[in-house]
Amino acid sequence: MQEKSTDQIHVSIVVPLFNESESLPELDAWIQQVAINNNLNYEVVYVDDGSKDGSWNVIEELALKNSAVRGIKFQRNYGKSAALQKGFEAVNGSVVITMDADLQDSPEEIPELYRMIVEDDFDVVSGWKQKRYDPISKTLPTKIYNWAARRLTGIYLHDFNCGLKAYKKEVVKSIEIYGDMHRYIPPLAKYAGFNKIGEKVVQHQSRKYGVSKFGLNRFVNGPLDLLSVVFMGKFGKKPMHFFGAIGLLMFVIGFGFSFYIGIDKLFFDRSAKLIADRTEFYIALAAMVMGVQFFLAGFLAELIGRNSSQRNVYLVEKTVGTK
């Protein structure tokens, strides 16, 4: 079996998966046929996120038959973001395409996604499943989530959560994703300085094998991660600008109330009423205490950020295929 030269790889396809043994042979054959038909030199990096159904055995068999197939197996289930991160670290192609392993993403989209990155010079191209084959319990929350993501990030994509996306290699090597951040790779790319973000309508197919691996927790984790991405993108390198500004505002409000109470008591209010009996006194006290706390939070965040270099560690159990 002849090994592929990494210098000649046009496109790297990263496929995160969890218990998808039934769909893998069909998906791999489909990808291979599309690559041959379009004269694309490619590699597929399958990242097995701790599957228990024999998915890794299928990947090993595929790697024996095809030198373009590579595999990474996690020791346990870490989640889709971890799988993508590890796949991004392993890719060699100048263009990186991500897709799900459940056959809901069509490999027929690969050539056009590749062209949009190479010829149209997009940094990121996100798929848009304009016609979806999902129940309303999934499509309605997705619409609300996409609306909120557009408003908060300033990136006007219709479908942030589509697994079918294409990137320049420099993009995936410049970002780090963890938790459930796979939904927000376009904003992460934007905050890393890659601003040419496009969109392509892609075909969505109904699930052929198995069941969805995402539960109701995505409705909680998704919005929280969105806030994290926006905050880290805007203030990750300068947390004092956020916490310090709020702290300063709160302290000024508290000091203003204190000044007002003092002047009023000295020159206008000659009654025997104590300052501590006035509502404004407690507003001033609370505002100044909160202001100091916010300021200290910003200061500590600056210290932690400047001294922290620890990255997420995902334990890889096995790998297969050439590099």
Q: Which of 283, 191, 196 has the alpha carbon at shortest distance from 238?
A: 191
Q: Report the pLDDT value the prediction gives residue 1, as an integer from 0 to 100.
A: 41
Buried b (16+ CB within 10 A) or exposed e, 169-179: bebbebbebbb
The full DSSP string for 274-312 is: -GGGSHHHHHHHHHHHHHHHHHHHHHHHHHHHHH-----
Q: Report the pLDDT value the prediction gives residue 113, as an integer from 0 to 100.
A: 96
Q: What is the pTM of this model?
A: 0.74
224-248 pLDDT per residue, tens: 777 777 777 777 777 888 888 899 9
Whole-angstrom Cα Rg for the chain: 26
Average pLDDT over residues 62-87: 93
Q: Domain ranges for the chain, please list them.
A: 6-235, 239-307
Q: What percentage of the chain has pLDDT greater than the value 90?
A: 43
Q: For domain 6-235, give its CATH number from 3.40.1210.10, 3.40.50.10790, 3.90.550.10, 2.60.120.380.
A: 3.90.550.10
Instruction: Determine the Cα–Cα distance for residues 229 and 197; give it in Å rounded to an integer.
Output: 17
Q: What percentage of the chain has pLDDT greater than the value 70?
A: 85
Instruction: Determine the Cα–Cα distance for residues 256 and 252; give it in Å rounded to an integer.
Output: 6
The full DSSP string for 62-106 is: HHHH-TTEEEEEESS---HHHHHHHHHHH--SSEEEE--SSS-B-
Instruction: Determine the Cα–Cα distance for residues 13 and 43; give it in Å rounded to an integer.
Output: 6
Q: What band does 106 get if pLDDT is binned at 50, 70 and 90?
A: very high
